């Protein structure tokens, strides 16, 4: 199994919000990155946004021009899981759906080299269960980045019941090589951060739903009253309402307590309207 300094080739699966940020970090740290997505347009969007982001860093003097262009050259888009056969570490950031992720881990287990570490960026799905879909559960681990990965300083590492000490140590040092601070969570629903964060976001939806206050006052209250950089409703928009809903359902099912039951308003925005809450800041970011 590769140690952190030997991790030279990284496979990233899912070129959405998280996968593109993870790709940028790994390429800037000197790794060759193979980026895979089921949707070819997601790949071209990701490469454009990573290149723009690295060039912004170079323009600000936070990265040399040469390092910026070299990082971009280290990224190769691929179209099949088989193309990841030489990766030392694969990080998946596909849709938050346990069956889909398990199917991917089964495939990865078959095609990657025996020493490869398989990591999931899941927000809430059990790493032990993902690992048990493979014949190498000791090499399966959670690497939970935060959004947006190049900016957020934290990686929450989740040890499945079978994750080995060697794999944990390698992934911890690799995360530090990416410039991140690491925290370690055991494999319980929501891990550390989402276990605490999602009930707060859900409560903000309940407050809005039951008419306690406007969405602006709820967000301003939590921003200025608790010194958070943004309010919980705006944060929910940034995370994605579908991701919030899916994490809450995992907490509700896994911990068996009704306090985690998703607020109907969150369900409605996510599943029926399929939109953001449309706070002005979010409209500005996405328009």
Question: Which residues does the annotation place in the binding site for CoA?
Answer: 53, 60, 123
Q: Does 27 contact ligand NAI by CB under 6 A?
A: no
Query: Annotated catalytic residue: which of 144, 175, 252, 270?
Result: 144
Instruction: Indicate if 252 belongs to the active site.
Output: no
Q: Which helix (H) or strand (E) holds 201?
A: helix 193-209
x/- binding map, residues 232-261, to ligand NAI, per CB under 6 A?
-------xx--x------------------
Q: Does 48 contact ligand NAI by CB under 6 A?
A: no
Q: How far apart are CA 134 and CA 160, in angstroms?
A: 13
Query: Annotated catalytic residue: which of 96, 121, 138, 156?
Result: 156
Residue written as token pair 């607020």: 263
- Residue 89's SS3 state is strand
What the block records as the tokens of 174 is 């690799």
Under 8 Å between Cβ of 247 and 202: no
Q: How far apart are CA 126 and CA 123, in angstroms?
A: 9
Q: How far apart are CA 91 and CA 81, in angstroms?
A: 12
Burial class (CB in 10 A: 0-12, 13-18, 19+), 114: exposed
Among 54, 68, 89, 104, binds ligand NAI (CB under 6 A): 104
Q: Which stretch binds ligand NAI (CB under 6 A): 23-31, 55-63, 129-137, 143-151?
A: 143-151
* Triad 246, 250, 255: Cα angle to 5°: 150
Shortest distance, CB of residue 80 to ligand NAI, whole angstroms?
A: 10
146/269 with CB nearer ligand NAI? 146
Q: Does 39 contact ligand NAI by CB under 6 A?
A: yes
Which residues are catalytic, by number?
123, 144, 156, 194
Binding site for ligand NAI (CB under 6 A): 13-19, 36-39, 42, 93-96, 100, 104, 121-123, 144-147, 239-240, 243
């Amino acid at each position: 199994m590769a140690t952190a300094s030997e991790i030279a080739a990284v496979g990233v699966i899912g070129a959405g919000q998280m996968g593109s940020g993870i790709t940028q970090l790994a390429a800037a740290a000197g790794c060759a990155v193979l980026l895979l997505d089921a949707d070819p347009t997601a790949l071209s969007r990701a490469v454009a946004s990573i290149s723009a982001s690295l060039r912004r860093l170079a323009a600000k003097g936070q990265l040399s021009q040469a390092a910026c262009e070299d990082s971009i050259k280290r990224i190769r888009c691929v179209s099949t899981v088989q193309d990841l056969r030489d990766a030392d570490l694969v990080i998946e950031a596909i849709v938050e759906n346990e069956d889909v992720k398990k199917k991917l881990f089964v495939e990865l287990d078959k095609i990657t080299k025996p020493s490869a570490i398989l990591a999931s960026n899941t927000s809430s799905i059990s790493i032990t269960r993902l690992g048990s879909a493979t014949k190498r559960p000791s090499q399966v681990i959670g690497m939970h980045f935060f959004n947006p990965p190049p900016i957020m300083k934290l990686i929450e590492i989740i040890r499945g019941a079978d994750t080995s000490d060697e794999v944990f140590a390698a992934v911890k040092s690799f995360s530090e090589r990416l410039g991140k601070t690491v925290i370690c969570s055991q494999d319980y629903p929501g891990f550390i951060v989402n276990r605490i964060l999602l009930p707060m976001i859900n409560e903000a939806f309940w407050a809005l739903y039951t008419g306690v206050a406007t969405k602006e006052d709820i967000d301003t209250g939590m921003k200025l009253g608790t010194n958070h950089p943004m309010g919980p409703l705006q944060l929910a928009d940034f995370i994605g309402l579908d991701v919030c809903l899916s994490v809450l359902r995992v907490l509700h099912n896994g911990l068996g307590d009704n306090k985690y039951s998703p607020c109907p308003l969150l369900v409605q925005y996510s599943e029926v309207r399929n939109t953001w809450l449309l706070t002005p800041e979010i409209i500005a970011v996405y328009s």
